[in-house]
Structure 1
Amino acid sequence: MTIQKIQIFDTTLRDGEQSPGASIEPAQKIIIARQLAKLGVDIIEPGFPVSSPGEFSAVEQISRELQGTEIVGFARAVKGDIESAIRATRDAARRRLHLFISSSDIHLDFQLKKSRQEVIRIAREMVAFGKQSVEEIEFSPMDSTRAGMEFVLELVEAVIEEGATVINLPDTLGIALPEEYEALFRTVRTQARGGDKVRYSAHCHNDLGLAVANSLAAIRSGATQIEATINGIGERAGNCSLEELVMAIDTRKATLQVETGIDTSEIYATSRMVSRTMHFPIAYNKPIVGRNAFQHESGIHQDGLLKNRNTYEIMDPEAMGIPRSMIILGKHSGRHAIKHRMSEYGIEVSGEQLDEVYTRFKQVADEKKIVTDNELLRLVGEATATQHDPYVLTEVSVQTGADEACSARVGVRTQDGAEHVVSASGTGPLEAVIRSIQELIPVAAQFEDLELHSLSTGEDAHGEAVVSILHEQQRHQGSAIHKDIILAAATAYVAACNAALLSSARQRQQQQV
């Protein structure tokens, strides 16, 4: 059986950006668009050109620059919108005009205040108008899943007759069930006049958590294009998540008999870029890119994973560019996982020493829930009277002022017992601390990313800091939990540096052997 290619239509920069609080500047759109092209999406909808001069400019520049990707100009079924979309995309090597108009009675009665026949007339006229300048016309009857089959068929037939080449049947409110959405596509494809001469696209919202399932249902009934966003960002509960859809197809290719052209190794980098740029944090338990998606605390799961990854994982996170952090140490972890984590740092303990480490570990885990690598190495050091970390943070103090730069004083102890202290300033307390650490630890200059999370509320609240650095083309992470978020960030930064240094040392030892 032939494998069908599914085109991925990315609307992160249009529908995704419509999420409250997700708006970004035109220059940031261009950076994300470049990454989307690197990811391998087939089509990019970079914005709504008529909405603002900045939006028009961003779509125009993306059209000029990304000559290997089809660019979409989004427009209402209004001449002014269409003219703006056509102008903004005029330099694209391949372009498409995407027109939409409401189709459900509730939209027609309360929003458009037009009859069905008026909507059909407008759709006909605007598709014909757009066709004068752009060959590829995508038409979307908005809210099609609540419009009624008879009217959807009539509207689709009208726009096909005027030259529409792609029919998108959007589940605008995310109300459809997979079997209903599948039936909608099947009926339109087989019963609409000219329905066999156009391509079909699905655009699903996630209000009931069914966006990916509905998109797969559309594929089963003939859709060859899926419209999605990075991290599932979008209005209300969001759109179909690109990474979830792509990995569902990739993982179940033999069953679905379809594939995409996405470079899965770029998934994580793209997800992180969109999350940071739009200031939208990713839920811990989000499939594919959530921090817990490939992490395991249960002792039974950890034991199985250490013996064979496939026991509890159906995908390879590293193939998606996700750092390998399979085992999370917590109160449910067993001796096997703890011993394995220590061995990753070249530390071998057994017998009474392992029992001592395990006892100390359980005490900390009951209090802090998660035991970071930095904390584990401290516990091992206490049990063995040895400092295993290249650097141990010994002092952090910060001085702030309303109108002055902040200053920080940071101290570390090296493995030979020497104490080092430096001071640095910055525009904020965190920057001052980071600069101090960078002076103390040369590898720390490769700082990449910082995440801060609140783990609780009230007077006893704790914050978690996760720091990523790049060292010798490899990403390393460190994490720490503390009531003082600045101290947590500093500890996590030093932990990431230690992980990088220990990793390099292990690699050198292996090469010598």
Structure 2
Amino acid sequence: MIEYSKKTNLLERTEFTYPLQDVAEPNLFRNLFPYDEVPKIAFNHRHVPINMPEEIWITDTTFRDGQQSREPFKTDQIVRIYDYLHQLGGENGLIRQSEFFLYSKKDRDAVYKCLERGYSFPEVTSWIRASKQDFELVKSIGIQETGVLVSCSDYHIFYKLKMTRREAVDHYLGIIKSCIEIGIKPRCHLEDITRADFYGFVVPFVNELMKLMEETKMPVKIRACDTMGYGISFPGVVMPRSVQGIIYGLHHHAGVPSGLLEWHGHNDFYRAVQNASTAWLYGCSGVNATMFGIGERTGNTPIEAMVFEYAQLRGTLDGMDTRIITEIGEYFTKELGFNMPSRTPFVGKNFNVTRAGIHADGLLKNEEIYNIFDTEKFLNRPVVVAVTKTSGISGVAHWINAYYGLTGDKMLDKQHPLVLAVKSWVDQEYEEGREVAIAEEELTRIISEKSREMNISFVK
């Protein structure tokens, strides 16, 4: 069938036939994934168009995938983090949903308490075993949507499920139909999509899901899961590793609306953020992520990263309150004992700290020279210069001004007597063999001593 597309103003073929290829042996794409070698990135130079949806958003899996990588959260901790997600998402609810386990009483108690908050966003959704009994549990709690695992690579179909592709499709469709019969919206997690036979299994299977949606009038969400982090965002990469190829194919060939498409990525090859942004660009409305990227193995796409990706792509935060990110980071480290790597973007202790003397001199003149943006405005984190043997006098001056909040006429320049006195003490420390940076406690002690000697009263 050929129809005129109002989107592209072109005649386009709208009907594509991709029958299920019920192969006798699994297709493991050994040319791309030789287990005894590093995976290969191959190109066929086929390109698909950018297709940014009208609306894009973030969904949360901190309490599901994130919780699988750490000691389980306590009920009150889940509720507190859920409150933070609500604040971070802002008035427009750009953190659209959050998914929860329902297996234990603790999990269910947390769900009840979060539902009692009455927030429109993030919507509370679940992730359960694919059984009618569990679907009934979802409905009894009052949740409207649940995730259902529908693994789609031959690695899973043949080796984990011990099924053929046809058996897997029939099994999955039966599960989804049971979910819909109960009145629950299914969110189909296409596990391991970046190692799946996209046109031989994924597209024909998702076509069946879209037919089921049309018949039942129940929305069926498709989550493309880059379970092993194999996704590649380079233009012209061969399937099934091409992120844009997957999203284009699900949207164009399988007929999934952008609003029902969601990307779920892992960071095994350092590509989680890049791949998630690419999914947005090529037609996927939802990006699934966790706070600080916590998740099994190398972790998931970090929510805070996608907040700033959204702002860069849209030119606005659309009401998201990025200052909450710093509060959440402090809660995770102080209350949950989370070991936040010091160089983690936006939240690590040293993410906007410089140690180089020449950089410190530039920051003292104008912080825009060496700071990514106004980190004090967006994250309540003023730019900081660590004091080391290479910081120089500019670094000492900048540290004092930043730590004590001295601005305008109150700022101390490089020739201020207090700055010179502190720099002299720092130099002496390193002349005596010190190697490590000067700790905050040491600096505040010395500054306090020197300021008393000089009768300077700004010190806290």
TM-score (norm 2): 0.75
**1:106 paired residue number:** 155
Residue number among 244, 251, 262 corresponding to 1:189 in the alignment: 251
Aligned to 1:172: 227
After TM superposition, give the deviation of residue 73 of structure 1 in Å.
Answer: 1.6
Give the counterpart of 1:223 among 268, 284, 300. Answer: 284
Structure 1 residues 374-402: Cα deviation after superposition (integer angstroms, max 9, x where no partner): 43355457778817799xxxxxxxxxxxx
Correspondence list, 1:29-178, <5 A? 29-40=78-89, 41-49=94-102, 51-69=103-121, 70-88=123-141, 90=142, 95-134=144-183, 136-150=185-199, 151-163=201-213, 164-178=219-233
What amino acid is aligned across from residue 186 of structure 1 in structure 2?
Answer: Y
Task: Give unpaired runs (5+ residues) of structure 1.
Answer: 391-500, 504-513
2:67 paired with 1:17:
yes
Measure how far apart 1:325 and its partner are. Answer: 4.6
Distance 1:28 1:384, change over 3 A: closer
Matched residue of 1:367: which SS?
coil
Which digits, 9 at most, give the CA deviation of each residue in 1:361-419, with x for residues without a partner? 123256152224543355457778817799xxxxxxxxxxxxxxxxxxxxxxxxxxxxx
Structure 2 residue 384 is the aligned partner of structure 1 residue 319: no
Aligned ranges for residues 407-422 of structure 1 at < 5 Å?
Answer: none
Question: For residues 242 and 389 of structure 1, do their structure 2 counterparts lie closer, same or farther at Cα, with a shift above 3 Å needed?
Answer: farther
Equivalent position of 1:369 in the other structure: 436
Q: CA RMSD for the aligned pairs?
A: 3.0
Q: TM-score, normalised by structure 1?
A: 0.68
Q: Deviations over 1:50-103 (max 9, x none)?
A: x22221222233223233221112123322332222323x0x5xx322222211
- State the match for 2:368 in structure 1: 310
Match of 2:42? none
Amino acid at match of 2:372: I
**SS at 1:107's partner residue?**
helix
Question: Deviations along 1:119-163, whole A, 9 cap, x unmatched?
Answer: 211221222222234464321111111111121112211222222
SS at match of 1:226: strand
Q: Is the 8 A contact 2:75 2:107 kept in 1?
A: yes
Code of the aligned partner of 1:309: E
Could you say if the C-alpha distance between residues 275 and 103 of structure 1 is closer, same or farther in structure 2, counting changes exceeding 3 Å? farther
Mark the CA change 1:265 to 1:336 in structure 2 (over 3 Å): closer, same or farther: same
Does the CA-based 8 Å contact 1:342-1:348 persist in structure 2? no
SS in 1 for 2:269: coil
Task: Tell me how far apart the structure 1 counterparts of residues 340 and 350 of structure 2 sit (CA, whole Å).
Answer: 11
Aligned twin of 2:267: 206
With CA pairs under 8 Å and 6+ residues apart, which has the higher RCO, 1 or 2? Answer: 2
Letter in 1 for 2:361: D
Contact 1:96 1:134 in 2 (8 A): no
Give the Cα–Cα distance (whole angstroms) in 1 for the partners of residues 277 and 252 of structure 2. 19
Percent of pairs identical after alignment?
26
- C-alpha distance after superposition, 1:408-445 (max 9, x if no partner): xxxxxxxxxxxxxxxxxxxxxxxxxxxxxxxxxxxxxx
The corresponding residue for 1:6 is: 56
Cα shift readout 1:37-58 (whole Å, capped 9, x = no counterpart): 1211533334211x22221222
Is 2:393 aligned against 1:335?
Answer: yes
Alignment-derived partner of residue 502 in structure 1: 459
**Corresponding residue SS for 2:340:** coil
User: SS of 1:195's equivalent?
Assistant: coil
Q: Distance in 1 between matches of 2:336 and 2:249?
A: 38
Matched, 1:247 2:308: yes
- State the alpha-carbon separation in 1 of the partners of residues 62 and 356 from structure 2: 35
In terms of mean alpha carbon deviation, does 350-359 or 127-136 score higher? 350-359
Structure with the larger strand share: 1
Q: Which residue of 2 aligns with 1:478?
A: none
Query: Residue type of the partner of 1:155?
Result: F
Q: Distance in 2 between matches of 1:191 and 1:226?
A: 21
Quote the Cα distance in structure 2 between the aligned partners of 1:277 and 1:378.
Answer: 27
Q: Which amino acid aligns with 1:174?
A: G
SS of the equivalent of 2:453 reads coil
Give a deviation string over 1:330-351, Cα, whole Å, max 9, x none: 1111212323444557778848
